Amino acid sequence: MKIKIFRKYFFQTAKVLFWFGVGAGLGLFFFVSFTFIIFQKINSNVVYPGVVISGIDLGGKTASQVNEIFAKKNEKIGKTKFTFVSDAGVATVSASQIGYGYDHDLISKQALSIGRSKNVLSNISLIFTAYVNGIYLQPAYHYSEDQLLSTLNPILEKLHVDPIDAVFAFQNGRVTTFKQSVHGKAADLIQVKNKLESQFKRVMFSGKPQTIIINIPIKILKPDITTEKVNSLGIKELIGEGISFFKNSIPSRVYNIALASTRLNGVLIAPNEEFSFNKALGDISGFTGYKQAYIIQNGKTVLGDGGGVCQVSTTLFRALLNAGVPIVERHAHAYRVSYYEQNSPPGFDATIYTPSVDLKFKNDTGKYILVQTSIDPNIQKLTFSLFGTSDGRQVVLSEPVVTNRTPPPSDTYQDDLTLPKGVVKQVDFAVEGAKVSFTRQVAKDEKVIISDKFVSNFQPWGAVYLRGTKD
C-alpha cells in the first residue's frame, strides 16, 4: 500500500514540475521575445550597439549620423596629395579631387545591415554578439577612376607607344622590305590602382594631410607579328651596329655615300659565307651612277669616281667589330681622314679599292645575316645595322693605342683645271702621322673564340689646297 501511495504522489509531483518547467520556459521565451521586439523597436532606425567601424562604435547612430561622421573624416583626408611620377612627367592631385576617402554611404549601409537579415535566429545571434563582444567591420573606401584617369591622361598619352609589327619581303636572294618588330609600352594602370588602394590605411589612420609619391609602372606591349615569325632565315634581332658621320662633305661625296649604302641595303649573307665588300657593291664608276668626289690617288687629292665610298666600308667595319664576327680582310687608310674621326677615335676605319683592297668577313653565326643601312641627312650620319640571331657572344674592344707620332708636312698646293683662276679651295687638313692599334676579344660561353689586333700605320699628311687655273 505504501509503495502504491508513493508512486501516486511521485507522478503527481513530476507532472506539476513538468508543467511548471513548460510554463517557465514559455514565460522566458515570451519575455525574451518581448524584450527583443522592444529592443528592435528602440533601435529600429539606428545601428545596433557594439557595431564598430574604423575604431568608432556606431551603436545608436542613424544612417545620416554615420554619414556625417565619415564625411567629416573625408574633409581631412581630402587635403592629402598624391604625386604620380613617370619619365613622361609628374602629376599631382588631391584626394578630394578624385573622391578618395571613406565610402560613407556604403559604410552606413554596412553598419545598419547587422542584425537585419531575413534570418531571425542569425539576427538574434549577431545582435547579441555585437552587444556583448562587439562586431568590428572593415571600412569601405572609394575613389573615382574617371577623375584619376582624367588627371593622369596627359602623362599616359606621352608614355604610350604602340607596338610595331614586323614586315619582311624577300625576292631574288635579297630582302626588299624589312621592318623589325618593335615592342610598345604603356602605363600599367592596374598596378597604379593597386598602389593607390594600398595607401588607404596609411591615409585613413594618419589623422593629418600628407604627400604620397606613387611611381607609374610601365608594361610592355608585344606586337602581334614578331620579326622571327615573318621569315625562316633566322633574322631575329640586331646583332651589331656601326655608325659614322660625314659632316662638311661636298654634295657629290654625300651622293656617293647614299648610293653605295643603298646598294648594300637588304644584302643577305648566308651561314658560313664569306662576304666581300667589293663583290657585293660591284663596279664603282661613273657608268654605275657614281659622281666624282675627292679621293687619294698616287699621293695626291684628286677628283675621282666614287669618292666617299670608303665612308661606307668604314661604317660596315665598325658594325662587324661590334657583331663579333671574324674579319678576314681589312685595310687602313694611308693617312688619318677627318671624316672617320668625327665622334670616333682614330684607327676605326677601313678603306677599299677595287679589285685589290677589300673588306671581308665570314658569317659564323649559323644563321643568315641581313644588312640594313640608313642615313640621317639632318646630322649627316650613316648607320649599318646587322640583323640575325644572337648566339650570346660578347665583344670587348680596347681603347686605341697611339704611338710613333709624326708631325704633318708643309701645306701642299695643287693646280686644278676645274677651278677658276684665283680660287683656292682646301680639300684636306693637316694631320700627324701615327701608328694606331686596338684589340678585340669575342667570348662565347665564357670562352674566347676570337682574339685579333688591328693596326693602322698612318702617314703624316699636310693640308692640301687646290689652286684654280681655269681661264
Burial 379-400 (b: 16+ CB within 10 A, else e): ebbbbbbbbbbeeebeeeeeeb
Could you give the angle at the alpha carbon of 90 between the alpha carbons of 199 and 77, nearest 5°? Answer: 35
Amino acid at 34: F
DSSP string, 331-354: ---SS--GGGGTTS-TT-----BT
Q: Is the pLDDT of residue 340 over 70?
A: yes
Q: How many domains does the chain have?
A: 3
Banded model confidence at residue 299, pLDDT cuts 50, 70, 90:
low
**What is the arithmetic mean of pLDDT over 97-108?**
89
Q: Is the pLDDT of residue 453 over 90?
A: yes
Q: Is the pLDDT of residue 331 over 90?
A: yes
Give the pLDDT score at 45: 84
Q: What distance separates the 2 farthest-apart alpha carbons in the chain?
A: 169
Q: What is the pLDDT of residues 364-401, one digit of tens each?
A: 999 999 999 999 999 999 999 999 999 999 999 999 99
Identify each DSSP E strand in 64-210 by its residue range. 81-86, 89-94, 101-102, 135-137, 141-142, 167-171, 174-179, 184-187
Both 240 and 314 in one domain: the answer is yes
Q: How far apart are CA 141 and CA 98, in angstroms?
A: 12
In a domain, 157, yes or no: yes
Both 356 and 260 in one domain: the answer is yes
Q: Is the pLDDT of residue 27 over 60?
A: no
Banded model confidence at residue 298, pLDDT cuts 50, 70, 90:
low
Answer for the pair 350, 310: CB distance below 8 angstroms, yes or no.
yes
In a domain, 323, yes or no: yes
Amino acid at 442: V
> For the chain, what is the mean pLDDT?
86
Give the pLDDT score at 374: 94
Give the pLDDT score at 296: 67
Percent of the chain with pLDDT over 70: 88
In a domain, 227, yes or no: no
- Quick one: cell of 150? 582624367
- Residue 110's H or E segment, with its range, is helix 104-113
Banded model confidence at residue 300, pLDDT cuts 50, 70, 90:
low
Q: Which of residues 178, 196, 221 is at a domain's end? A: 221
In a domain, 24, yes or no: yes
Both 51 and 109 in one domain: the answer is yes
Banded model confidence at residue 355, pLDDT cuts 50, 70, 90:
confident
Give the pLDDT score at 216: 92
Cβ-proximal residues to 232 (8 Å cutoff; 6+ apart), any chain: none
Both 30 and 63 in one domain: the answer is no
Banded model confidence at residue 48, pLDDT cuts 50, 70, 90:
confident
Banded model confidence at residue 78, pLDDT cuts 50, 70, 90:
confident
Both 36 and 148 in one domain: the answer is no
Banded model confidence at residue 467, pLDDT cuts 50, 70, 90:
very high
Both 58 and 203 in one domain: the answer is yes
Give the pLDDT score at 43: 65
Count of Cβ atoms closer than 10 Å to residue 288 Cβ: 14
Q: Is the pLDDT of residue 160 over 80?
A: yes
**What is the arithmetic mean of pLDDT over 157-172?**
84
Both 388 and 278 in one domain: the answer is yes
Both 321 and 412 in one domain: the answer is yes
Percent of the chain with pLDDT over 90: 43
Both 248 and 379 in one domain: the answer is yes
Both 33 and 21 in one domain: the answer is yes
**Domain range for 18:** 1-41
In a domain, 351, yes or no: yes
Banded model confidence at residue 302, pLDDT cuts 50, 70, 90:
low
Give the pLDDT score at 278: 96
Pick left, alpha or beta for residue 148 (phi over 0 → left; psi -120 to 50 → alpha; otherwise beta). Answer: alpha
Both 18 and 78 in one domain: the answer is no
Give the pLDDT score at 2: 55
Both 292 and 272 in one domain: the answer is yes
Strand partners, 376: 381
Q: How far apart are CA 263 and CA 372, in angstroms?
A: 10
Most confidently predicted of 1-10, 54-63, 150-159, 436-445:
436-445
Q: Is the pLDDT of residue 9 over 70?
A: no
In a domain, 181, yes or no: no
In a domain, 168, yes or no: no
In a domain, 174, yes or no: no
Helix axes 145-159, 189-197, angle to 10 degrees: 140
- Block residue for cell numbers 529592443: 39
